[in-house]
Homo-oligomer: A and B are copies of this chain.
Amino acid sequence: MKPATTLRPERERCADCLIRHRAVCSHCGPAELEFLDAIKSYRTFKPGEEITAMGQETDFLGSVVNGVVSLSRILADGRRQMVGLLFPSDFIGRPMRAQAPFDAIAVTDVKLCIFSRPRFEALLRDTPSLESRLLEMTLDELDAARDWMVLLGRKTAREKMASFFLLVARRLAAVARAELRDGVELELPLTREDMADFLGLTIETVSRQISALRKAGAIELTDARHMRIPDIAALAEIAGDDDDGGMID
């Protein structure tokens, strides 16, 4: 398949990219894609590694190709709140503002497809298909952030946990391009501490609620990180959303 003459055998092409159909570049035509191909690069991060730090200038923007990234903010006394959770195809970075408004940390092994900030911002100005897709994605993220605000402001610890499991299940299913159905098994990408920071709880409360949901039969656990949802609708009921629960993918 590969031409023997190739100089960079491991070079990934945009056309073959697994997240192409959902990422910021998904509306680009062949010519635009070829240009992106030429200027993109990849970077990987280990779990726990800092990708950008709050208040620090970041010189790149890009897409999550593999893994999960958390965005979080820390108050002066150390309290932490997660404000975003990025899955493959999500966009990372804040265009038109060099200073990162939040910490971005790899929660699993992460691979990013990145562009230098000035190059990407110039591209954005010249490429309507990029800009309109980014607007669309930003609007979706805003919707998701607002659903999350409802969770943080008004839901009980039990409801928060149930909502969280559904959110992860939906996102992982979307990444795998699979239907979400009863009996799904999933690997939780977050530690108890990360979940607590996501949900505005403490790790103890997270742990207690997981135990309670397990005893109630709403979830099944093989170990701390691997779970199974026997009945999606039942879990959604516990989550307290009025119907399908929002949480935009």
A154 in contact with B101 (CB, 8 Å): no
Cβ of A176 within 8 Å of any chain B Cβ, yes or no, is no
A76 in contact with B248 (CB, 8 Å): yes
A101 in contact with B150 (CB, 8 Å): no
Cβ of A131 within 8 Å of any chain B Cβ, yes or no, is yes
Q: Which chain A residues (114-133) contact chain B, with CB distance < 8 Å?
A: 124-125, 128, 131-132
- A131–B55 Cα distance when bound, in Å, is 27
A149 in contact with B150 (CB, 8 Å): no
B131 in contact with A125 (CB, 8 Å): no
Q: Which chain A residues (39-84) contact chain B, with CB distance < 8 Å?
A: 54-55, 71, 73-77, 79-81, 83-84
Considering the complex, give the chain B residue whose CB is closest to the CB of A76: B242
List of B residues within 8 angstroms of A240 by Cβ: 75-77
Take A135-B138, A141-B142 as given contacts and tell me if A55 and B149 are in contact as well, using a CB distance cutoff of 8 Å: no
Q: Which chain A residues (94-145) contact chain B, with CB distance < 8 Å?
A: 94-97, 101-102, 124-125, 128, 131-132, 134-136, 138-139, 141-143, 145
B145 in contact with A245 (CB, 8 Å): no
Interface size for A (C-beta < 8 A) is 51
B76 in contact with A153 (CB, 8 Å): no
- A95–B147 Cα distance when bound, in Å, is 18
Q: Which chain A residues (152-203) contact chain B, with CB distance < 8 Å?
A: 152-155, 199-200
Take A76-B242, A135-B134 as given contacts and tell me if A153 and B101 are in contact as well, using a CB distance cutoff of 8 Å: no
Cβ of A87 within 8 Å of any chain B Cβ, yes or no, is no
Cβ of A86 within 8 Å of any chain B Cβ, yes or no, is no
Considering the complex, give the chain B residue whose CB is closest to the CB of A159: B75
B154 in contact with A75 (CB, 8 Å): yes
Considering the complex, give the chain B residue whose CB is closest to the CB of A102: B146
A245 in contact with B146 (CB, 8 Å): no
Contact of A154 among B81, B138, B143, B154 (CB under 8 A): B81
Contact of A153 among B55, B81, B128, B135 (CB under 8 A): B81
20 A-B pairs in the complex with CB atoms less than 8 angstroms apart:
A54-B246, A55-B245, A55-B247, A74-B242, A75-B150, A75-B155, A75-B240, A76-B242, A81-B150, A81-B154, A83-B150, A96-B136, A101-B246, A125-B128, A125-B132, A131-B135, A134-B135, A138-B138, A142-B142, A148-B149
